[in-house]
Structure 1
Amino acid sequence: MANLMQAVQYSSYGGGASALKHVELPVPKPSKDEVLVKVEAASVNPVDWKIQAGVMRFLLPAKFPCTPGTDIAGEVVGLGPGVTTFAVGDKVSSWLGLKKGGSLAEYAVAPITSTVKRPEGVSARDGASLGVAGSTALQALRDLVGWKFDGSQQTQKNLLITAASGGVGTYAVQLAKLEGAHVTATCGARNVDLIRSLGADEVLDYNTPEGKQLKSPSGKKYDAVFHCAHYQPFSYFKPQLTPDGKVLDLTPSGNLLLSMAAQRLTFAKQKFVTFLTPPNVDALNLLTNFTKEGKLKAVVDSTYPLSRAEDAWARSIDGHATGKIIVTVVGE
């Protein structure tokens, strides 16, 4: 194995895609409870460039120089001290963690606490799509809505998913339907048929009056809103909620924190909740199994080689990607 690797880094806040630099770095060494992975594919998520932009500085301060990215799929080529749950040659998917990063490189160190074996039938592209997007969708629905994904859900819930054609949204639609929810989704006109094909019961073009007002065509009020779009105040959603409905906002910002603080001062049953997903190996295992069983699929917007990682970064910043943006490393 080589001692040096190709990687992508940035050295300060700001600059967007143009600030990404291709560099040569020493191949990292795994520590206790870590494995070294030869990266086959990675994905770019909005949270990655938000960290670079400094938007997430209050929660996730960057350490410079920074090799960004959190989601990888690849092959284990080295074991840290005491690691017995993985072996060299294992195909894996891993979420490196938002604070550590390191996915836009030929090799990455992955914690075993957020790494799972990737079975045959789950491609590197699929495996690299699951970390942030799939886990955010699953854990928010499981931990905040209360769905267990074990077949025990008895009462149908009405769920609204905004920006349903994004990475998180495409997984959220599929996972919600696995739990038997009635799903209303919003997206642009060009993605209406796609979101219907993923199982949504009702799809609203967000540019229409109904889409802007979030009104279900069937008149249903929502038990939960899975908000994947830009920040909106709680008042924007409130008219469409059931008396104890929740808004799960996945776009952390200063405005959101103010809104949450205001909500905590009330005793209303309706709630506005932010959610920043922590790594969870159980969630990643469940998502991998769903993918293997054909119950879940990755929607891929575009694929770029590592040598064009800045184009993938720019595509994500543009905000119009449908599903996931993938960076291939092996065999590019």
Structure 2
Amino acid sequence: MAKEKLRDLDLNLLIVFDALLRCENVSRAADELDMSQSAVSHALKRLRDQFDDPLFIRARDRMVPTPKTLAISDYILEIMRLTRSTLLPSSSFDPDNADWTLTVALGDVGDMVILPALARHLRAHQAQGRLVSVPATSDEAVDLLATGKLDIYVGIMDASSSDILCQKLYDDHLVFICAQDCPLQEEISFEQYEEMDHILLQSRSSPKSGQFISQALQRNHSPRPPKIETPYISSVPMIVEGDKDIVAVVPHSLAQYFCRTAKVRILTPKFYLPPIAINQYWHKRFDKDPFIVWARQTLRKILSSSEISLH
């Protein structure tokens, strides 16, 4: 019986399995695969018969994977990876003639700085496909990358797992922002910083960045806790522009964005603050996947070109 089921296994069903696992919704999976909902439902029925398990159970507005699904998902994703990398004739990815969805997690800073540049690049090159940015902390991203629900994570990650691969994209330098009528000129000394109130951004989607900034300030023996601590990135320039006696330390790329959208300006620190290394992360299972290779190369191209200002 097992041999008969294996002989009847249709690789197209595994594509539906993968889409359902990532989308957790029949309608969204159908849209991604350019199939009708009834066709996806029929494929799911065949999958259930094939594996003798419900595989996905409806819970409110999503399809929740069963223990059986979680147990076999790694094997199925590996089968798909091997099929794409070794059996299919094309070894490259053509974004102009493929139906694709690129799912990235960029954090609050990346959504403001990187996402617009990525969207402009894809539109300018008339790439056919969808770009999806999802909220995910670095810890959450590890599991999402492993299951294929997330293609690339950009930011800071404690990638202790050998399954997560990493590539440096750029160094972002820490600077201060202040109100336009702040008495300080273009630079700020550590003594001047000590006399000012300051805001600390503790982004919930990029907690490692907030930790990095806190540790960088502590290295300089900062004596006072921040006057204001907030997880909301959009509130920082609004607070700063209305108070000439308060400053915020943020990555330079974000400071440039704030200068365009609020009445603030940049102060360069006269004391040392270490740069933040911004990396892109992906799962080793997809290291040779033509689509993921193209996505990584595209991000590197954008961040190394004039399409985005980082310095």
Q: Which has the higher contact order (CA 8 A, sep 6+)?
A: 2
TM-score, scaled to structure 2: 0.30
The structure that is strand-richer by fraction is: 1
